[in-house]
Amino acid sequence: MRMGDEVKVTAAEIPPMPELAGALAPLPASKQREWRDTYAKALKQAKIDVPEGGMEQRIRAVKEANRIFCVDEPLSYKDAMALEPWQLVKRQQMGDRLHVVTIDGKGLWFEVSRGVDVAAGKTGAKTS
């Protein structure tokens, strides 16, 4: 690539969205759009950073776009209940405990009555 050349990304260069196998709900359209936009922006930058590396460019773009699938760890029962269904593989109440598993593999337990994270021993916000 020569200095002054404008870097372009075509729609054909943007791959299909990865599927969220096992998620409780499909990815919302707004998040799908965010993933595609992030991929395109990252691919454009990768074409500048690694002009000769087609595969490396795609790897960098996918890695950046897939950051959307990182779920902030809930610290309380209330936080766990506030997660969107597409962010979860499991949200199940078992007696007085809530078990959640996020799409990025975090498995956490919370006491329903007091909002305490049983697995890590963290005390979360009290719930009513």
Q: Which three-class secondary structure string do you get for 8-37?
A: CCCHHHCCCCCCCCCCCCCCCHHHHHHHHH
Q: What is the pTM of this model?
A: 0.77
CB neighbours of 118 closer than 8 A, spacing ≥ 6? 97, 109, 110, 111
Cβ atoms of 86 and 28 within 8 Å: the answer is yes
pLDDT digits (tens, 9 = 90+) for 7-20: 889 999 999 998 88
pLDDT digits (tens, 9 = 90+) for 17-70: 988 889 999 999 999 999 999 999 999 999 999 988 889 999 999 999 999 999
